[in-house]
Amino acid sequence: MDIEAMRRGAEAPVQARREDLSAVAQDLADAFAEDRHFDWFMRTDARRAEARQRLFSFLIGEAFAAASIDRPAAGGAAAVWMPFEWLGPTPMLEELRTLPLMMFITGLARFSRLAALRQDMDDHHPMERSHAYLWFLGVTPAAQGHGIGSRLLKVGTDRLDAAAMPAYLETGTERNVALYRRHGFQVISEHKARADAPTMWSMWREPASPEG
């Protein structure tokens, strides 16, 4: 893995194409392998890695038409930005269509955890103003700690500043709060889906003025 090439690629990322979606899903599945929220709601048996891969394949596939997915040309990382309008209520038929997959991902015992997490995220997501939603930002584990995610993030926030567009994200990793603050995000709420769930931080960013 050429870390320097990935760093340069993150400074001038390409937009993922449909033929890249499998690689994007794999990069994000790897990046979130140790994520506390995924660990909390996902099945615990030997098929956990398969479940995480299937989940990201589904999510990225569903979002592709509306998403802006920045990634180094060689892959290894991705930032997935969504328009906030995409987050509207899910029709009942769509919920039923995805139920078997979600049950496979969580297992019967943990399905209620996923439902609680989704509801908590919806409850804390401000929908009063137009904004871009940083749905996922992930770097494959072997390339973490080299500023690749930060470079991808800057590309996205620079683009939003040019459009005078606010942004929103959630993170369940406390050390990432400082990273996002350096890029202009501020914590607007700290919450849990349930008493036994990990903490989540919701963060908002106003666009920077042209004068900086």
Sheet holding 77-83, edge to edge: 14-15, 68-71, 77-83, 132-139, 167-171, 200-205, 186-191
Taking only the tens place, the pLDDT of each residue in 70-113 is 999 999 999 999 998 887 666 666 777 889 999 999 999 999 99
Taking only the tens place, the pLDDT of each residue in 18-74 is 999 999 999 999 999 999 999 999 999 999 999 999 999 999 999 999 999 999 999
Kindly state which CATH superfamily the domain 3-205 is placed in: Gcn5-related N-acetyltransferase (GNAT) (3.40.630.30)
Say if CB 154 and CB 184 are below 8 A apart: no
Pick the range with the lowest mean pLDDT from 2-6, 130-134, 207-211.
Answer: 207-211
Task: Kindly state the percentage of the chain with pLDDT values over 90.
Answer: 90
pLDDT value at residue 89 = 65
Query: Which stretch of DSSP H or E encloses residue 73?
Result: none
Give the CB-side neighbour count of residue 51, counting CA atoms within 13 A.
Answer: 18
d(CA 152, CA 65): 20
pTM of the model: 0.93
User: What residues does each domain of the chain span?
Assistant: 3-205
Give the CB-side neighbour count of residue 110, counting CA atoms within 13 A.
Answer: 19
Taking only the tens place, the pLDDT of each residue in 60-73 is 999 999 999 999 99
What mean pLDDT do residues 184-200 have? 97
pLDDT value at residue 88 = 67
Say if CB 70 and CB 152 are below 8 A apart: yes
Q: In this structure, are strands 132-139 and 68-71 parallel, antiparallel, or unpaired?
A: unpaired
Nearest partner of 2 among 77, 100, 99, judged by Cα = 77
What mean pLDDT do residues 120-133 have? 94
